[in-house]
Chain A
Amino acid sequence: MATLPVDELFELEASALEATDAAGELESLAEVEREYLGKKGSIRRQMRRLGQLDQSDRPAFGKAVNDVATRVEARLTERRASLKAAEREAALEAPNFDPTLPGITVGQGALHPLTLIDWRLDEIFRSMGFYVLDYPEVDSEYFNFEGLNIPADHPARDMQDTFWLTNGQLLRTHTSAGQVRTMREFAPPFKAIFPGRVFRYESTDASHDHTFHQVEGIYIDREVSVAHLISSMKTLLSEVFGREVKVRLRPGYFPFVEPGFELDISCLVCGGDGCSVCKQSGWVELLPCGLIHPNVLRAGGLDPDEWQGWAFGLGMSRLVMMRYQIEDIRHLLGGDVRFWSQFTGTGLE
């Protein structure tokens, strides 16, 4: 039997195994596979030599080629697995990746602090059955004054210096201008608040502006007493300030309520023990309130013998300043981006 021409085959095997081991990544490994085992690969090409061999030698050579191919294939498979494993290892790493770098954002919006407080009041009062309403800013003398029991030449008009329009109408000086409108709009009994912008003809400083915000509260029912007013204000204000507050009433004069009060709350800073904020008194003046004057009920189309009510007016701008520790009221309407951009909450506290 003639010697089989296997030297070349074995050389090919050796070089294929060497190339397999040398392949450092899956792509070059695939190249090696193509080079040796592909249809036109050098090992497959050895089969073409069968024709040159004796008939008897052919099976043995064929088997030898197949054996080589199998061995190379096995080595390739092994090498492929190890390269894949290494690649997965590498994929689990992220060199130079710093997860603490800033994220890509679409920017940060913000609500105005007056909106934040407006929404909070809205939520509190609506949960307690109040309507939350809105009334005109330019109003007639009637709704701002006469209907509220403040006739022309009444000295109380001095208490609120008014911006008058050339047509005799005015910029409302208080949200109380909505009281008579509410009574005409809703059937009693009802309770409502109406926040909004009000205007006073006065010079400005850090704690006064000619335009600011108030919220008016009104409650109409068949039997309303001072005891109810005290109790309601205590509940409402505790909710507004997010903690238990004490309230105290003092006589106060407002023509649209009788009796009228100034309401003080226990100082939020010292809790009533006395500090510099409350001038050692333990009390801070917060809002005017009172039982609605029968003339105002009449102006609203209600019979004072049948219906009674209480009302209060709360300085919303002041509430905003207290809540956010804003030092100058003029930031509220005259601010710039350094002011607006700070109130990034959703408004739901």
Chain B
Amino acid sequence: MKFSLQWLHRYVDLSDLLNDTEKVAELAERFTLSVAELEGYDQLGAELDTVIVARIESCEQHPNADRLRVCQVNDGSPEPRTIVCGAPNARPGLVTALALPGSKFNGFKIKVSKVRGVESCGMLCAPDELGLGEGHEGIWELPSDLTPGVKLSEVMPVRDTVFEVDNKSITHRPDLWGHYGIAREVAGLLQRELRPLDTEVTLGESPAASVNVTDHVACPRYCALKIEEVRVTASPLWMQVLLYRCETRAINNLVDTTNFVMLELGQPLHAFDAREIHGEEITVRRAVEGERVTTLDRQERILKSDDLLICDARRPVALAGVMGLENSEVRDDSTTLILEAANFTPEVVRRTAVRLGLRTEASSRFEKSLDPAYPKLGALRFVKLIQEMCPEARVASQLADSWPHPPAAVSVDTSVSYINHRLGTELSGEVVRGYLTSVSFTVEDLDGDKMKVGVPSFRATKDVSIQEDLVEEVGRLFGYDNITPSQPVVEIAKPYRHPMRTLQRKVRTVLSGGLSFFELRNYSFDSEPLLERIGRSEALALELKNPLSNEQRFLKTSLIPNMIAAIERSIAHCDELKVYEIGRVFEALSEGERIATPDRLPSQPFMLGGAIWRRAGQGAPQSSLAGQWGQSDRAYFELKGFTETLATQLNTTLDFKLTDGGQPVWMHPARCAQIFAADGSAIGYVGGLHPDVIENTSLGDYCALFELNLEVMNALNLSYGGYAEISRYPAISYDLSIIVPEAVSYDQLKTYINQAHKSWVRGVDCVSIYRGEPIPEGQKSVTVKIEFQNKSATLEMEQVNKVVDRLIKRLGQEVGGWIR
């Protein structure tokens, strides 16, 4: 919201600030530190000192230009001044604004110069050129009773400072949505007197129109007045300029005065043309579902039953607190008005305004919980101002005032010591009381410490109700800068380490450190076009009611799709990539919980996703098994190797089993494994890309992905497994080539080997796989290196041979294994 120094000056004497840049800067700083945040301020009009009132005496066609005229202008001196002017409305008798030679504004300088051969001694100006009003066709048409020669600044507030306050910082201060409230704060800050608002008006004798409020919760107060013999004219210049500077367009005296009172008090008003108001009763009621009205902006609005309407005997005439209706607006020939000044409940106004997308100056003020004392004040203030402009205007009626339940005065019990404790200060009672009374609180001193603080009505609607609020009042006026910082006395805290954060730190250390992965972070939404390309998981994705775009309306159920997108974005710039992300994914616990509000949160586990990609397998590591593999296989095993190392570094193990078919859609259904944690829980999958993904993305063959559930990992005991004493007895390394059917996995074989002896088998490693002559079709020869060791005695070869013989026998019986 913008506010003007000249406007404030109407209520607090600020004459020493009007022309003093430094004092303005000081006020701005104090306001920011003690009241609310200023976005900034503009000092305006200082350059307009050489602009004066002038009257055009005569106008002649310019001899050399069709569109220009040569005017003789009365500038207050005996001799007329010649001005060349192109404005269509330049005419004899017009009183307007004249910028004298030497004037500088809007980035250009007025000089005496020849215009097409005729000397022009200044420039006649339009209000927008001077920054004092809206642009019109041509030069400013000033009131004809102004005296030529006087400075413009003598007839209107030309020089001013306009402050812009951050609206967010006054959300809680309904009193600061008008100049009078700001002036109250400024008066408090500068220790100056705040002049009372002049509302002395004479009301009429006739009974007020009756007001029938059907919902006092939605409309706590409704005031109405009938004003007769009003003449619609232009507002006085001072009002036009002040409104303009506060970004409000001047229209006519009636509209301008309702706006002026709103910007003065914060109280929105609405004027109806009495000719359009039927009957003698105004009704405030809720709308009927589906009721249609046309607002002042000529838009038809379809209402809901919680919208509030102002109605005459026949029809709605205003959408309460938001906007008047077209059917009853004041027109140029209006002479009798019904003035509305009301208080509406914030929630009601807010809901209507938000739903209709119709946030008006009025609605945004009502949303702040306005002082219910203000409607009457606002109505009287309107009358006072209108009568200054149209002395013949008179209030025909008494004030209709429906206010059945005025709120009780609010007071807060507190104490000087409490306030000092919360601030960390040692202010005296007198000082504390001084601050509070400077911004209109009343203070009743009870015993030198305890006090009863009366909250003024304009602060009591929502803002101030508890002691803490008074702590803020005293603190801000004392100045937080003046508080001496002090360290709290702190007890020694019980140590606590967040297990999930600790796990994540370990994972990141291993992957980014030893294993040379890049950590990336992606958004939490899935991209529909991407899922179209790579497939969609069956997880119950949570959906946004208000997505930024329809393409990103689901929360991601896996880290992988966005990771694929990130790799696609990156591969133009590198030949290999190893990336991972730790982040939450989201899943509804049931279809019902996707739609109706459950009393529990959805599943949102932290996952670890990882991927490896190489341009055509470039630089892939060597392995004795690699000869068997294509690109996709190698990518799979390279990534699997990293997950195995990660598990080892985390003091745990992962088991890779043939998939149960539940692998993610973007994974190759065969070139993948389901992963189990050391406690047997399913923890994720690792796999190469599904052929469809290879076809629909730019990733190519050498790419593999994994995703692990870190919540499962976090449930494991990840402490160091324990040191094993170094055996004094030698180990025996035994190479064995076993021929098994293709369907027997290495993992199965390994399990048999590990079970061959309960304590002697120390390790198993795969040396090579061979297929072809002389191995029969459908079988493979797997060469493994087995390490045997007895921890407590020297192991003899014969003992090992017996174990191996038993193993081969068992393999033969159970899976059809044999040796040549």
Residues of A within 8 A of B (CB): 106-112, 114-115, 119, 122, 129-134, 136-140, 152-153, 155-156, 158-159, 163-169, 171, 186, 189-191, 197, 199, 201, 203, 210-211, 219, 221, 223-228, 230-232, 234-235, 248-253, 255, 258-262, 291, 293-294, 308, 332-338, 340-341, 346-347
Cα A234 to Cα B483 in complex, Å, equals: 13
In the assembled complex, which residues on chain B have CB atoms less than 8 Å from the CB atom of A139?
601
A334 to B568: give the CA distance in the assembly, Å.
12
Instruction: Tell me which of B421, B492, B544 contacts A225 (CB under 8 A).
Output: B421
Q: Closest CB-CB distance, A222 to chain B, in whole Å?
A: 9
Which single member of A164, A199, A251, A291 contacts B524 (CB below 8 Å)?
A199
Q: Is B528 an interface residue (CB 8 A)?
A: no
Say which one of B33-41, B108-116, B404-412 lies at the interface with A.
B33-41
Provide the bound-state CA to CA distance between A111 and B504, in Å.
12
Docked-complex contact A134 and B500, CB < 8 angstroms = yes
* A152, A248, A252, A337: the one within 8 Å of B169 (CB): A252
Is B588 in contact with chain A by the CB < 8 A criterion? yes
Choose among A169, A225, A336, A346 the residue that contacts B602 (Cβ–Cβ < 8 A): A169
Q: How far is the CA of A252 from the CA of B475 in the complex (A)?
A: 12
Given contacts A155-B367, A166-B544, A250-B37, A335 and B520 within 8 Å (CB-CB): yes
Query: Considering only CB atoms, which chain A residue lies closest to B566 in the complex?
Result: A336
Min C-beta distance of B605 to chain A, whole Å: 11
Evaluate whether A227 and B484 lie within 8 angstroms (CB atoms) in the complex, with A131-B498, A250-B37, A340-B519 already known. yes
Question: How many angstroms from the CA of A335 to the CA of B602 in the assembled complex?
Answer: 28
Report which residue of A130, A155, A189 has the largest number of chain B beta carbons within 10 angstroms of its beta carbon. Answer: A155
CB <8 Å contact, A132 and B501:
yes
Q: Could you tell me the distance between the alpha carbons of A262 and B493 in the complex, rounded to whole angstroms?
A: 28
A337 touches B584 (CB 8 A): no
Name the contact of B421 in the complex, choosing from A134, A138, A167, A223 (C-beta under 8 A). Answer: A223
- Bound Cα distance A107, B731 (Å): 36
B519 touches A168 (CB 8 A): no
- Known contacts A111-B519, A164-B546; can you find 8 more A-B pairs with CB under 8 A? A109-B518, A119-B505, A122-B505, A223-B488, A231-B488, A250-B37, A333-B521, A335-B520
CA distance A255 to B169 in the complex (A): 11
What CA separation (Å) do A176 and B20 show in the bound complex?
43
Question: Taking chain A's interface residues, is the majority helix, strand, or loop, or is none over half, making it mixed?
Answer: mixed
A313 to chain B, nearest CB (A): 14
A153-B347 contact in complex given A226-B424, A252-B169, C-beta closer than 8 Å: yes
Contacts of A108 in B (CB 8 A): 516
Total of A-B residue pairs, C-beta within 8 Å: 248
**Inter-chain contact A248/B481, CB cutoff 8 Å:** yes
Say yes or no: B468 contacts A258, CB within 8 Å. yes
**Closest residue of chain B to A255, judged by CB?**
B172
Q: How far is the CA of A333 from the CA of B476 in the complex (A)?
A: 39
Cα of A22 to Cα of B625 in the assembled complex, Å: 51
Query: Smallest Cβ distance from A6 to chain B, in angstroms?
Result: 61
Q: Which of A225, A262, A291 has the most CB of B within 10 A?
A: A225
B374 at the interface (CB under 8 A from A): no
Given A137-B604, A138-B542, A231-B485, A110-B469 contact (CB < 8 Å)? no
Please tell me if the beta carbons of A112 and B520 are within 8 angstroms of each other in the complex: yes
Q: Which residues of A contact B588 (CB under 8 A)?
A: 167
Complexed CA–CA distance, A338 and B803 (Å): 56
A203 to B603, CA, bound (A): 28
Establish whether residues A250 and B468, one from each chain, have CB atoms under 8 Å apart when the complex forms. Answer: no
Docked complex: B366-424 residues within 8 A CB-CB of A: 367-368, 421-424
Chain B residues within 8 Å of chain A by Cβ, number: 92
Q: Tell yes or no: B523 within 8 A of A by CB.
A: yes
B164: min CB distance to chain A, Å: 14
B351 to chain A, nearest CB (A): 7
Choose from B37, B485, B569, B578 the contact partner of A262 (Cβ within 8 Å).
Answer: B37
Q: Which of A119, A140, A165, A169 has the most CB of B within 10 A?
A: A165
Task: For A165, list chain B residues within 8 Å (CB).
Answer: 542-545, 555
Tell me the nearest residue of chain B to A153, going by C-beta. B347
Contact B501 A169 (CB under 8 A): no
Min Cβ gap B510→A in Å is 9
B586 at the interface (CB under 8 A from A): yes
A138-B586, A333-B522, A340-B518 known; A168 vs B596 contact (CB < 8 Å): yes
CB-CB under 8 A from A112, the residues of chain B are 519-521
A211 touches B476 (CB 8 A): no
Q: Give Cα A230 to B487, complex, Å.
A: 9
* Given the contacts A228-B424, A231-B487, A251 and B472 also touching, CB distance less than 8 Å: yes
Chain A residues positioned under 8 Å from B367 (CB to CB): 155
Residues from chain A with a CB closer than 8 A to the CB of B500 are: 134
- B518 with A114: CB separation less than 8 A: no
* Min CB gap B26→A, angstroms: 13
Q: How far is A336 from B172 in the complex, measured between Cα atoms in Å? A: 43
Which residues from A are CB-within-8-Å of B32? 250
CB neighbours (8 Å) of A259 from chain B are 468-469, 471-472, 475-476
Inside 8 A of B593's CB, which chain A residues have their CB?
Answer: 167
B577's closest neighbor in chain A, by CB? A337
Assess whether B689 is interfacial by the CB under 8 Å rule: no
Residue-by-residue, is B566-590 near A (CB-CB < 8 Å gives 1, otherwise 0)?
1001100110111100011010100
Cα separation A111 to B569 with both chains bound (whole Å)? 19
B535 in the interface (beta carbon within 8 A): no
Nearest first, the 3 closest Cβ-Cβ pairs linking A and B are A227-B424, A259-B472, A231-B485
CB-nearest residue of chain A relative to B474?
A259
Check B427 for interface membership: any CB of A closer than 8 A.
Answer: no
Identify the closest chain A residue to B491 (Cβ): A189
- Contact status B171-A156, CB under 8 Å: yes
Q: Is B716 an interface residue (CB 8 A)?
A: no
Q: Taking CB as reference atom, which chain B residue is nearest A310?
A: B488
Minimum CB distance partner of B492 in chain A: A129
The CA-CA distance from A136 to B606 in the complex, in Å, is: 10
Q: Are A107 and B576 in contact (CB under 8 A)?
A: yes
Quick one: closest A residue to B345, CB to CB?
A: A153
A162 vs chain B, min Cβ distance (A):
8
CA distance A112 to B507 in the complex (A): 13
Smallest Cβ-Cβ distance to A191: which chain B residue: B493
Of the candidates B486, B516, B584, which one forms a contact with A231 in the assembled complex, judged by CB atoms under 8 Å apart?
A: B486
User: Are B545 and A110 in contact, with the CB atoms below 8 A?
Assistant: no
Q: Indicate if B302 sits at the interface (CB-CB under 8 A).
A: no
> Could you say which residues of chain A place their CB within 8 Å of the CB of B545?
164-166
Contacts of A251 in B (CB 8 A): 33-36, 169, 472, 476
Residue B629 at the chain A interface, CB threshold 8 Å: no
Is the beta-carbon distance between A155 and B424 smaller than 8 angstroms? Answer: no
Select A167's contact among B488, B522, B597, beta carbons within 8 Å.
Answer: B597
Contact: B596 with A167, CB < 8 Å?
Answer: yes
Contact B522 A228 (CB under 8 A): no
Q: Is the CB of A153 within 8 A of B602?
A: no
Give the docked Cα–Cα distance between A141 and B161 (Å).
Answer: 42
**Is B513 interfacial (CB-CB < 8 Å)?**
yes
B335 beta carbon closer than 8 Å to chain A: no
Closest CB-CB distance, A116 to chain B, in whole Å?
A: 10
Once the chains are docked, how many angstroms separate the CA of A234 from the CA of B172? 27
B515 within 8 A of A: yes
B346 within 8 A of partner (CB): yes
A-B contact pairs, 22 of them (CB 8 A): A107-B516, A109-B511, A109-B519, A112-B520, A119-B505, A131-B498, A133-B501, A138-B601, A156-B172, A197-B524, A211-B523, A225-B421, A226-B423, A253-B171, A255-B172, A258-B468, A293-B468, A333-B521, A336-B570, A337-B518, A337-B574, A337-B579
Contacts of A131 in B (CB 8 A): 493, 496, 498
- B468 CB contact (under 8 Å) in A133, A294, A335: A294
A175→B593 CA distance, assembly (Å): 24
Tell me if B598 is interfacial: C-beta within 8 Å of chain A: yes
CB–CB B546/A163 < 8 A: yes
Contacts of B471 on A, CB cut-off 8 Å? 226, 258-259, 291
B168 close to chain A: CB less than 8 A: yes
Least Cβ distance of A301 to chain B in Å? 18
* B466, CB-defined interface residue at 8 Å: yes
Q: Nearest CB to that of A192 among chain B residues? A: B496
Which chain B residue has the least Cβ–Cβ distance from A339?
B520
